[in-house]
Amino acid sequence: MNDKSAAPEPGAILNQLMEIARISALAEMASGIAHELNQPLGAIATFAQAGERMLNRPDPLVAPATDVFRQISHEALGAGEGIRRIRSLFEYEPTTRETCRMPDVIAELRPVLEMLALRAHGALEIEATPADLPEVPIDRLKVQHVLFALVQNAFDASAERATEARPQVRIATSGDRYAVETSVYDTGAGIAPEIRDQLFRPFFTTKARGTGLGLASSRAIIEAHEGTIGFESRPPSGSRFWFRLPAVVN
């Protein structure tokens, strides 16, 4: 009798590979930060202790202590420069924009979003779009990355709360002559008040295996487009995450 286990599905393998890539990237970044900060922080601590000893004497050594403080300042500036170098590695390339209609951007990504729905055993709804939405000047792929991240989070939130019902995610667009707004609705438990101020901070996550980079990178992308991004909790029916992009100026 052949007792071999079934081969893993391609989707499961892809998830595993993406997880390994995320963990590897975070490990490299953490290593770089530690390398850039350990030496100057160690020097700052040493100089601070020396300065304290120089001043905590019956006859304080003011001149040598002043020199020590200059060294502390130098090391602190060096640490800041190290962080700047690391940050530059993760900065986005200059945005290449094209004039697009958000319904087209969403429609192009729809097969990928439906794959997310399939994996979550959920349902995706894309509402009919108003016919008079203006065009927006965007980097299509980067904005699609934002939409993907929001929909993925929405399915995760909906799945956590779902019992017999399927996780439900809805995408809607609206706008005026000045901007176009895209909303992603979920059926999760909403956003707890104690974490609302932290949601877009790098490395903050409520997921057991999350990286905390999805919403942070989404905010960076939208703000690079001179747009805004935010959310509202809608208990008991879930949450709405949205981003608003400036329209083409005619």
Q: What is the CATH number of the domain that holds 80?
A: 1.10.287
**Burial class of residue 13, CB neighbours in 10 A (0-12, 13-18, 19+):** exposed
- Is the N-terminal amide bond of 236 cis, ω within 30° of 0? yes
In this predicted structure, which of 26-40, 140-154, 188-202, 236-250 has the lowest mean pLDDT?
26-40
% of the chain exceeding 90 in pLDDT: 21
**Is the separation of the CB atoms in 51 and 64 below 8 Å?**
no
5 part of a folded domain: no
186: containing domain: 98-246
Answer yes or no: do 114 and 66 share one domain: no
First-to-last alpha carbon distance for the chain, in angstroms, is: 72
pLDDT in tens, 97-144: 899 999 999 999 898 889 888 888 889 999 978 888 999 999 888 898
pLDDT in tens, 161-196: 655 578 889 999 999 989 999 999 998 877 777 777
* pLDDT value for 137: 94
Alpha helices in the chain (DSSP H): 10-55, 62-90, 102-119, 140-161, 214-224
Give the domain-ending residue among 67, 90, 113. 90
Average confidence (pLDDT) over 31-46: 75
Domain count, the chain: 2
Q: If we measure between CA atoms, which residue out of 217, 153, 147, 156 comes closest to residue 182? A: 147
- CATH value at residue 129: 3.30.565.10
2 part of a folded domain: no
Answer yes or no: do 123 and 216 share one domain: yes
User: DSSP character for 206?
Assistant: S
